[in-house]
Structure 1
């Protein structure tokens, strides 16, 4: 019989993966809300989780549902502002190009890429989260990655002879 690890260790172990999934699904702006809601919900349900459950797949499933909730909530509510800014405040990191390209993917492809490539779930578990078959999840992820490669083809640094990049 296996014993469940303390919940704070679950957060330490899987928190970064869940955040990557949330960012991929809802974007960097709303990811923190989806992440927090995921772990609040998980904390409530954790005592009833079977000892032999795949915790990462369970958390990704919760993150998927919470991310969908965040998207639905944002679609229903307008955000009033007094004045529109002249420019968007810069955010950190070059990864925003990748997040924008990921956000432009069709929903099923974006989720399949996030759950398999960012969360590391096998395709049968991705299919369990999204519905459908493992083959369909694999196809959606492959199509999404192909689109990302085409999108990034002109923006990746050109390798120098010998394989090093500047």
Structure 2
């Protein structure tokens, strides 16, 4: 039996088509400070794995899954920092207001438990369906639906938004 060669587009074409999705998701998951590093790490991992892909189906979802996992790695690597009492405060620019029009919403999203935060961000920022979210989080579509639902309920309660 002869294995069939997978026809993948050139890696640059993949970057050209999906770089905005990767950076947007990376910044949403890791914040303005770490988002660019997460996106860079995701592209590096994707580049290393690209020649070994066995399917060219849904490359966007594959990239966003890598991005979500890189963001999770950054969160796990963070150690609690002890503030220095005599250190001056450091000003960090937040997300661009044009991209993130509701800072209260994003503060609330960042306070969600990790899996809920990842699920709701993959669903609404990454625009993945529940199968894509499930693949990124290594769970089932039913569990993905539940994570997103729980996250939305928590966000509605925190923000005082209730639909009619």
Please report the TM-score for the alignment, with normalisation by the length of structure 2.
Answer: 0.77
Deviating more after overlay: 89-98 vs 44-53: 89-98
Listed as ranges, the gaps of 5+ residues in structure 2 are none
Identify which of 6, 15, 19 aligns with 1:15: 19
Structure 1 unmatched ranges of 5 or more? 155-166
SS in 1 for 2:79: helix
Q: Quick check: 1:71 aligned with 2:78? A: no
Q: Contact (CA 8 Å) 2:32, 2:93: kept in 1 or not?
A: no
What residue is the counterpart of 2:30 in the other structure? 26
Distance 2:86 2:93 in 1: 20
* Residue 111 of structure 1, CA deviation: 0.9
Give the TM-score, by structure 1 length: 0.76
- Structure 1 runs, 4 residues or longer, greater than 4 Å off: 76-82
- Please list the CA deviations of residues 106-146 of structure 1 after superposition, one character each: whole Å capped at 9, or x if unmatched: 11111111112211222122112213321111111122123
Asked if 1:88 corresponds to 2:91, the answer is yes
Provide the residue aligned with 1:5 in structure 2: 9
1:126 is matched with: 133
The question of whether the paired residues in 2 share the 8 Å contact of 1:24 and 1:111 is answered with no
Equivalenced residue count is 153
Q: Distance in 1 between matches of 2:104 and 2:17?
A: 27
Residues 28, 99 of structure 1: 8 Å contact kept: no
How far off its partner does 1:39 sit? 0.3
